[in-house]
Amino acid sequence: MDYQDGHDQLAEEAENERRRAEEIERRRREQARCERAVKRHDFILRKADEFARYEKLIAFVQFLERRVSRFSDEPVDRLIDELKAFVEVMGQRFEREKLLEEIVHRQLYAEDDVRADPADQ
């Protein structure tokens, strides 16, 4: 084997190693994308459940306000006031800024996540 053959073989091995490393990295990125997709779906389902609970609480507050006579400081009045405050705080979780904050904190998206095309749905 002469010098050129040895050099060509080393170059070929280096190229093969580079391709293997690229393939490993591509698979790692794809795995990470899949894991984020699962986390996003879980997030959506959890938020939908929280929102349904929020709507039920709003309806409950409205029901109590219509049906329960309000006096000044009876326990039922304090409970209604507490429930209203709780619902108000809970509703803030569904505001755009809060949702964005949680999405970023949970790292549900990365630069290489492709936006779904509505035509593909």
* Tens-digit pLDDT string for the chain (121 aa): 566 777 788 889 999 999 999 999 999 999 999 999 999 999 999 999 999 999 999 999 999 888 877 666 788 888 888 999 999 999 999 999 999 999 999 999 998 887 766 565 5
- Residue 107 inside a domain? The answer is yes
R_g of the chain, CA atoms, integer Å: 28
Pairwise CA distance, residues 121 & 116, whole Å: 8
- Residue 19 inside a domain? The answer is yes
Q: Is 121 helix (H, G, I), strand (E, B) or coil?
A: coil
The pTM of the full predicted model, rounded to 2 decimals, is 0.74
Domain count, the chain: 1
Q: State the residue range of the domain holding 88.
A: 3-113
- Residue 105 inside a domain? The answer is yes
- Residue 120 inside a domain? The answer is no
